[in-house]
Chain A
Amino acid sequence: MTMMEGILLTIVTAATPLLFAAIGELVAERAGVLNLGVEGMMAIGAVCGFAATAVTGMPIVGVLVAMIGGMLAAGLFGIVALFFVANQNATGVALTLFGLGLSGLIGDRFVGMPGIPVPRVDIPGLSDLPIVGRLVFGQDPLVYLAVVLAIGTWWFLFRTRGGLVLRAVGDNHGSAHALGFSVIRTRFLAVLFGGLCAGLGGAYLSLVYTPQWTPMMTGGRGWIALALVVFASWLPGRLVIGALLFGGVSILQLHAQAIGIGIPSQFLSMLPYIVTVIALVIISRNRTLLSVNTPACLGRAFVPDS
């Protein structure tokens, strides 16, 4: 395997958890819900995935439990933010604090335990092709799932009736309600889907990316995923590109540290966060681009006047 190939491979691995979490958040935001709890949901997914895999010995069970864990956490957010119409910003922050704490509590006895690696899917023949072989045909199954999820999300949002309803709820909840669609139910489902995806992203971190559990291992990736959604201006296609870009930055940082260039490691570790801020600024200054795709009711509470 050449070095270039190696770097490209690790970029895909670094991009996958971001893509998972950001796809889920994109759907929730398209329905009009700003869930700032992605970091917390990812942490819960990471610990659930690792714990369930360690207990059962089966990564597939870990992945499923991580999805359920993420959904339960999202459900908590949904109840408070949608049914009790609490401020979405504050509720999301609450979910992050709660999720980080709870994941630490659950993961206490798993610290330092070696993980069970997820087997790669090798397609005989194809995986041995030069360059594209390992890159396209030799990834772990979750990478493929992330790609399928991204394409599926695009298809659902822009090619199905359900997607149309979801976007209508996010763009004008008053009209959607008047037309007889249940705003709260649609939003709740979208939030649950967001939690499921964030849980997957977390599981990817603790099962594939590092394979181990350490407290705070999400390291701000949930927040970067949130920024990615803005960066992609709420379009799944751009989200994939964005995830690869951000994954690339975090990998570049690791490779630079490994080579040992004269920059202190802390400055290299800052890179993903600084790049995120810069990307946000570049995208946000273009208000017209944003206003085209931003769900008009994003972050606004809805109370049916019955």
Chain B
Amino acid sequence: MRIVLEKRLTPSRSMQYLSPVVAILLSLATFFVIFLLAGIDPMRALYIYFVEPLTALWSIEDLLVKAVPIILIAIGLSFCYQSAVWNIGAEGQLAAGALAGAAIPILFPTLQGPAVITAMILMGIAGGMAYAAIPAILKIRFNANETLTTLMLVYVANLFLDYMARGPWRDPAGFNFPNSRPFDEGQMLPVIAGESIRLSIIFMLVAVVVAWFMTTKTMTGFKIRVLGQSPRAGSFGGFSRNKMVMLTFLISGGLAGLAGICEVMGPIGLLRTSVSPGYGFTAIIVAFLGRLHPFGILIAGLLLALSYMGGEGAQVAIGLSDQTTQVFQGMLLFYVLACDSFIYYRLRIVRQPALDAATVR
């Protein structure tokens, strides 16, 4: 007796919705076992991780603040992944956006007001786009594998950010900390709700709705999906693969850059050697967990922001390493990918052992 995968005649709609849920439950179950083995009360640990952050108003606010950059980036990445473009360098595009936007308040500290804020946001988007255009051009012109180039460029961008924050853009009056001058209120995104929820949450919601509209209602969205599923079919349809590569890279780079400058203009309030705790990588998981669908990404982004919150809480309460969060995130992606195969395949138990169908035929 053995178990084989069998292709379904039509993709299973119910599995499409069930798979992320099953993946989350499996991740939680695995975490339960890991905590048990590590001698930590699993119920308490899971409570601290996934429930406690939701029990206080301030932590729900913090959750939303963390979810904004993750969701923004994941929305952009979903365009890439739908067209089978493997941009995994959003972390670098985020840094590029943060650098480009922060240039204004650092070089012209006296400028303030809505126009400056707008300019900073636009510079952030442009910075992310420009940085994403590099791997796009290398792929289109020279056929260079974008998975590798985007990732290499993450290291380059982070090192450059490190250099700028320690070197030319360091605050002379900053007691030698590797930071820029703290920005003034007139150079940051206005708070629109609570203590720390800023305008960036609106950008995120707009991005979700626009992405939903683009993918479901426009020709561009259709082209992206066709080229992603079958480049040949796409080229027969007269769609240009190269244009799509560039477009999806610009969209994802722009949104990652926006996320970067919003971090600088919001929660952080200055430029420092690192502006993201890995949001660009977490967003990859969010994109897949959310089925590459804008509304799915919205939910998945909130969940993974929760895992960041829980990780911080567990570090304080039970002394767990902050790496636990990353382990949870990686594991979740594994489970999502494995469960996703049940959308297209079903398990079948074959009773007669050695007699292969191949030999019978």
Interfacial chain B residues near A276, Cβ < 8 Å? 148, 152
Interfacial chain B residues near A154, Cβ < 8 Å? none
Q: What's the tally of chain B residues with a CB closer than 8 Å to chain A? A: 51
12 A-B contacts (beta carbon < 8 Å)? A83-B5, A84-B341, A85-B341, A93-B333, A98-B334, A101-B324, A101-B328, A227-B152, A269-B159, A270-B155, A274-B156, A277-B148
The residue on A at minimum CB distance from B335 is A80
Complex Cα gap A206–B284 (Å): 29
Q: Which of B109-117, B138-146, B264-272 contacts A (4 or more CB under 8 A)?
A: B138-146
Interfacial chain B residues near A40, Cβ < 8 Å? 330
Interface string of B292-336 (1 = CB under 8 A from A): 000000000000000000000000000001011111111101100
The residue on B at minimum CB distance from A102 is B327
Complex Cα gap A238–B53 (Å): 53
Whether B337 sits at the interface, judged by CB under 8 Å, is yes
Tell whether A97 pairs with B333 under 8 Å between CB atoms, given A226-B148, A306-B350.
yes
Complex interface residues of chain A between 195 and 221 (CB less than 8 A to chain B): 215, 219-220
Complex Cα gap A287–B326 (Å): 38
**Contact B333–A90 (Cβ < 8 Å):** yes
Interface string of A224-258 (1 = CB under 8 A from B): 10110010000000000000000000000000000
Nearest chain B CB to A254 CB, angstrom units: 15
Tell whether A86 pairs with B330 under 8 Å between CB atoms, given A273-B152, A280-B149.
no
Partner of A101, one of B141, B156, B330: B330
**Contact A101–B358 (Cβ < 8 Å):** no
Tell whether A104 pairs with B323 under 8 Å between CB atoms, given A76-B334, A86-B340, A303-B345.
yes
Complex Cα gap A117–B262 (Å): 46
Partner of A303, one of B7, B288, B321, B333: B7
**Contact A230–B148 (Cβ < 8 Å):** yes
**Contact B148–A273 (Cβ < 8 Å):** no
Residues of chain A touching chain B, judged by Cβ–Cβ distance below 8 Å, are 36, 40, 76, 79-81, 83-87, 89-91, 93-102, 104-105, 108, 177-178, 180, 215, 219-220, 223-224, 226-227, 230, 264, 266-267, 269-270, 273-274, 276-277, 280-281, 284-285, 287, 290, 303-306
Whether B172 sits at the interface, judged by CB under 8 Å, is no
Whether B73 sits at the interface, judged by CB under 8 Å, is no
Q: Which of B98-106, B160-168, B218-226 contacts A (4 or more CB under 8 A)?
A: B160-168
Tell whether A284 pairs with B152 under 8 Å between CB atoms, given A98-B330, A108-B323, A270-B159.
no
Nearest chain A CB to B75 CB, angstrom units: 17
Whether B151 sits at the interface, judged by CB under 8 Å, is yes
**Contact B163–A303 (Cβ < 8 Å):** no
Complex interface residues of chain B between 146 and 193 (CB less than 8 A to chain A): 147-149, 151-153, 155-156, 159-160, 162-163, 166-167
**Contact A215–B323 (Cβ < 8 Å):** yes
Tell whether A89 pairs with B86 under 8 Å between CB atoms, given A98-B330, A270-B160, A306-B358.
yes
Whether B49 sits at the interface, judged by CB under 8 Å, is no
Tell whether A304 pairs with B4 under 8 Å between CB atoms, given A98-B334, A105-B321.
yes
**Contact B333–A273 (Cβ < 8 Å):** no
**Contact B334–A80 (Cβ < 8 Å):** yes
Interfacial chain A residues near B56, Cβ < 8 Å? none
Complex Cα gap A84–B163 (Å): 44
Partner of A94, one of B162, B330, B341: B330
Tell whether A303 pairs with B5 under 8 Å between CB atoms, given A105-B321, A270-B155, A280-B144.
yes
Whether B356 sits at the interface, judged by CB under 8 Å, is yes
Nearest chain A CB to B91 CB, angstrom units: 12
Complex Cα gap A96–B147 (Å): 13
List 8 A-B pairs, minimum CB-CB distance, nearest first. Answer: A98-B330, A101-B326, A104-B323, A86-B337, A94-B333, A97-B330, A266-B163, A101-B327
Interfacial chain A residues near B145, Cβ < 8 Å? 227, 230, 280, 284
Nearest chain B CB to A306 CB, angstrom units: 4
Complex Cα gap A104–B151 (Å): 20
Complex interface residues of chain B between 191 and 208 (CB less than 8 A to chain A): none
Known: A80-B334, A101-B326. 5 other contacts (CB 8 A): A98-B331, A101-B329, A267-B163, A274-B152, A284-B143
Complex Cα gap A227–B162 (Å): 25
